[in-house]
A and B are shown apart, each in its own frame.
Chain A
Amino acid sequence: MIELHDVHKSFGALKVLRGINLTIESGKSMVIIGGSGTGKSVALKCILGLVAPDSGTITLDGQDVTRGDRDAFLARFGMLFQGGALFDSLPVWQNVAFRLLRGSLKRPVTEAREIAIEKLRRVGLKPDVADKFPAELSGGMQKRVGLARAIAAEPEIIFFDEPTTGLDPIMAGVINELIREIVVEMGATAMTITHDMTSVRAIADNVAMLHDGVIQWTGPVGDMDQSGDPYLDQFIHGRAEGPIESVR
């Protein structure tokens, strides 16, 4: 279980997180929604230790994430980045097997390659993609490779940062289905950041809405439409009028 308690983060004078309190239960899929620039990615990066919070605590199974063996901590996570963040200089299979080729999870090269090809197959890519370079792939294929990399070491917790951004609706649907299948199949804890309400309904067990640096609403995805929260209502229905100021 991941718990954020009163987490604050500012960049200069800009206060991005103003005291986030959030619980992500083990084995559940939590989706964080909110407008652009509301700090969703910052919250996710705080959990991973890529950004240090100014104050507050973040715990994983009761242990402070800033303490203890960092490699062992990160080995429990997989992450799909918004743009894929594939390493341009490495072929696809080495991107997928990156963690299996070095460090504490190191395997023999042939075994790592076999696992990479199996994971590529799992996300719907053929083995001939393995020896291509990321620049030779379409956006949707890059997302799938990123997904294969995120699950390659079979992590307990997977983060998805805007998994469907920039994809056509059909490919977005395919990625949503894959994420849901993989999370259920692996029994992993998932945390997804998205603006895409179709993704929310396809992926989420629970939803949290981040607005103005705090969690405005959180609850099961089934309760989202009857929440009665004006901020959440405005966001999920995409209305220009409401308590959330929109820039025209």
Chain B
Amino acid sequence: MTLVLGFLAAIGRSTLAGLAGVGRFALYAAETISHLARPPFYTREFLQALVQIGWLSLPVVGLTALFTGGALALQIYAGGARFNAETVVPSIVAIGLTRELGPVLGGLMVAARVASSIAAEIGTMKVTEQIDALTTLSTNPMKYLTLPRVLAATLAVPVLVGVGDVIGIMGGFLVGVGRLDFGAGAYLKTTFDFLESWDVISGLIKGAVFGFIVALMGCYHGMNSGRGAQGVGRATKTAVVAASVLILAANYVLTEVFFSA
């Protein structure tokens, strides 16, 4: 009996701790958004974050899209050949990339690069009392550190996804024309004949949501980092894992919403 009660109490404690964590994160997200409408706005920090998150993530997102587009073309060709539907390769590559793989893989790559770096930077600032120093210098850390990064990621990731879409389609094109004997003109015509603007727009919306998630998780876990190198390391790991899982969960929810609409 005692064992059962102990087990149930452990489950209860974990559940309460989990719910408290969700509540703290929700409050943090709400406070971040509420600062959007209240001055001051740190433009310099925002532009720096835009370069860090957007421009410097371009190579990794571009390479991911390029190789994914190429592999996708080969896989769809192999699958399509089973029922004589090889000609769908260009349109399925484009639709698959713009609606799903572009934003999800782009989001995950940005999570790995950006959530980790934000969490490590802010976590280090926390343990070296730089966050306290900001406060004593009459500067709100939420406004100075969190808001510029979250806003920059929310705006930059859709652009990265858009660029990734183009590069991914190019990857499919290169494999389709070079390896699968498609005509260049025919490949591009099939791609754009079946691609609708909503395919692209829905992917960009996903990109904005994923960017918001990545930066917010990086900032939240950095701000709540434990002490010392171990605390910063744990915050960094948790930020990347949580951002990745949330991206996949949000992707399903958004896809369901777009599917039902």
Contacts and interface: CB of A to CB of B under 8 A. Distances in A.
Interface in A77-128: 77-79, 81-83, 85-88, 98-99, 102-105
B130 to A, nearest CB: 5
Given A102-B40, A102-B42, A103-B40, A82 B129 contact: yes
A83 B129 contact: yes
A81 B133 contact: yes
B46 to A, nearest CB: 13
Contacts of A103: 40, 138-139
Contact of B130 (A70, A85, A102): A85
B139 A102 contact: yes
How many interface residues does chain B have, given as a range? Answer: 10 to 19
Contacts of A132: none
B139 A79 contact: no
A79 B133 contact: yes
A45 interface: yes
Contacts of B42: 102
A25 B128 CA distance: 30
B136 A77 contact: yes
Nearest to A79: B136
How many interface residues does chain A have, given as a range? Answer: 20 to 34
Interface string B131-149: 0111111110000000000
Contacts of A87: 125, 130, 133-134
Interface in B231-260: none
Nearest to B124: A88
A156 B40 CA distance: 25
A85 B40 contact: no
29 contacts: A48-B136, A49-B135, A50-B132, A50-B135, A70-B138, A74-B136, A74-B137, A74-B138, A75-B138, A79-B133, A81-B129, A81-B133, A82-B129, A83-B128, A85-B128, A85-B129, A85-B132, A85-B133, A86-B130, A86-B133, A87-B125, A87-B130, A87-B134, A88-B124, A102-B42, A102-B139, A103-B40, A103-B138, A103-B139
Contact of A71 (B130, B132, B134, B138): B138
B137 A99 contact: yes
Interface in A10-32: none
B185 to A, nearest CB: 50
Contacts of A70: 138
Interface in A26-77: 45, 48-50, 70-71, 74-75, 77
A104 B136 contact: no
Interface string B108-137: 000000000000000011001110111111
A157 B139 CA distance: 18
B136 A50 contact: yes
Contacts of A82: 129
A55 to B, nearest CB: 22
Given A98-B139, A99-B137, A103-B138, 19 more contacts: A45-B132, A48-B136, A49-B135, A50-B135, A74-B136, A74-B137, A74-B138, A75-B138, A79-B136, A81-B129, A83-B128, A85-B128, A85-B129, A85-B130, A85-B132, A86-B130, A88-B130, A98-B137, A103-B139
Given A81-B133, A85-B133, A104 B128 contact: no
A77 B133 CA distance: 11
Closest 6 CB pairs of A and B: A85-B133, A85-B129, A74-B138, A79-B136, A81-B129, A71-B138
Interface string B30-54: 0000000000101000000000000
